[in-house]
Structure 1
């Protein structure tokens, strides 16, 4: 699934690559840029975090004429008015105008590097609205890629962005050098959801290699952190039962559960019948004609 992201046939696709400080997803983003231009698709990059030279590094030189970088790195907030693109320009009409300047019959690929930078300097609700509009601009934009540093935002903001995406790729490092794991979730317009985990590595020439599942020592670091946080691991008493203790527990009769013998004794009909006898004494002052005589009514 990781290799077939660009082959998505449904127009208006939105792909989010989630990363953290422990592993950057930019190399995977550059891999998709390189695959797109080698397929002779025009790619427009809105660059906020790194300069153009870093994005171009590793791209196939035979197809770089299909690569267009809109510089928002030099002056993203417009303080010196040196950048061709700024945060305030992140609107659907402005982006479509940039894309349409390229003479191309096919819809193009839009890359946002990164969504985190835009979200930190813009209203997240407005960004979600603009992303939704870009998904509908099928005549100009075939697919949108966005890099999202999920450890920089609140969980609700990350969830809102991922809810808009047709494909979410979460990358995390492995203990093995230069290897990582990507968890891909793909949602079709029909409502079908597919998930897949891939272990991969990307070389400097942007060649992606899918690897076999690593050995027990190559766990994802996030899983290791989860195991270390087990609340029952450092207790002075044991919360778990051995097999012998579990068997002994199952043999103990609960106080509110009747045995078969006790049930039979309670349900067995009695041979003799009981009768309550009452003999009033002198202080009862009982009047048969007026039983309520002692009441103050």
Structure 2
């Protein structure tokens, strides 16, 4: 079923989902990366994108690293599901079971990205869309450097890769389970043509921060709210100014419920603190008019031990 979008001038999410072939980088592949966390899952939005791709594309490959194939299938609707080739990297993600099979080839015992695509039997060598349900298990099993290398090879291969040309790569990644996320995530962000980062709702609907790089190098950035209905149709819209203020300045309350003592000050305590005069502060009475001389004794001063006050005429 075709996805419906409300007419909206600033609806960037709908525009991203209906990306045209002219948007695809002719020197490589188009990477769509969605980033989520435990605060807000991106699985529902990813299923909506998969639905859109299945409805419009003919050569779709889904690599299941995080979920069994049956669960991924249950999230896709319509009669076009037969166009999808599912690849199970969940059941034997380390390749241990296949390694015990003496008849299995060495290239069939690994479940990394390149090995799976090498063994793909596609009816078409061009215009293939590869979807990864989550990059996180792949990175945790293979390490970030090797996973990044394989993604880089796939995305920068303008010609066929093992006889298979990938036009688009779509994936989800969980930012809070990656090792050294502060270093690895920016590298994935830089690799992506379109980056979606979902965050918890401000009022009723979750928020998505969209960053899209046009072929000419222009960068589009916008925050929108979105909802996904039961048939994977997406509705999104621009945030109001109040919502943007709430997103940019989240409330940071002290964890008072987690302590056995009071962390803050009451109004009376704040007033008493403001009236407190510390001993090292000079209080200006305001009654004296004129200049004053303040002298600080020095170690080199010449003191008269017999007349320290200099008040004896001797």
Normalised by the length of structure 1, the TM-score is 0.68
Equivalent position of 2:309 in the other structure: none
Give the conservation status (yes or no) of the 8 Å contact 1:110–1:145: yes
Structure-2 change in CA distance of 1:86 and 1:28 (3 Å): farther
Q: 1:151 aligns with which of 176, 184, 209?
A: 176
RMSD: 3.3
In terms of Rg, which structure is larger? 1
CA distance in 2, matches of 1:220, 1:81: 51
Tell which deviates more after alignment, 166-175 or 58-67.
Answer: 58-67
Q: Structure 2 vs 1, CA of residues 160 and 212 (structure 1 numbering), >3 Å: closer, same or farther?
A: closer
Higher relative contact order (CA 8 A, sep 6+): 2
SS at match of 1:160: helix
Residue pairs, 1:222-261, within 5 angstroms: 223-225=249-251, 227-228=252-253
Q: How does 1:242-281 map to 2 (within 5 A)?
A: none
| Alpha-carbon offset, residue 131 of structure 1 | 0.7
Number of residue equivalences: 232
Are the equivalent residues in 1 in contact too, given 2:24–2:167 (CA < 8 A)?
no
Asked if 1:14 is matched to 2:31, the reply is yes
What secondary structure sits across from 2:13 in the alignment?
coil
Distance 2:134 2:93 in 1: 12
* Superposition deviation, residue 167 in structure 1: 1.2
Q: Paired residue for 2:156, among 114, 118, 136?
A: 136
Q: Indicate the SS of the match to 1:197.
A: strand
- Output one character per residue of 1:150-205: Cα deviation in whole Å (capped at 9) or x when no partner: 1112210111111111111000120444x211111112343321111121011221
Q: CA deviation at 1:105?
A: 5.5
User: Are 1:119 and 2:136 matched, yes or no?
Assistant: no
Distance 1:184 1:86 in 2: 37
TM, length-normalised to structure 2: 0.64
Partner residue of 1:90?
Answer: 112
Q: How does 1:1-297 map to 2 (within 5 A)?
A: 1-5=12-16, 6-7=19-20, 8-11=23-26, 12-81=29-98, 88-92=110-114, 94-99=115-120, 101-104=121-124, 106-138=126-158, 139=160, 140-153=165-178, 154-177=181-204, 179-213=205-239, 216=242, 223-225=249-251, 227-228=252-253
Distance of 2:247 and 2:39 partners within structure 1: 9
Conserved? CA contact 2:223–2:239, under 8 Å: no
Which residue number corresponds to residue 248 of structure 1? none
Match of 1:269? none
Tell me, yes or no, if the aligned pair for 1:43 and 1:66 is still in contact at 8 Å. Answer: yes
Structure 2 spans left out of the alignment, 5+ residues = 1-11, 255-262, 275-314
**1:104 to partner: Cα distance:** 2.1
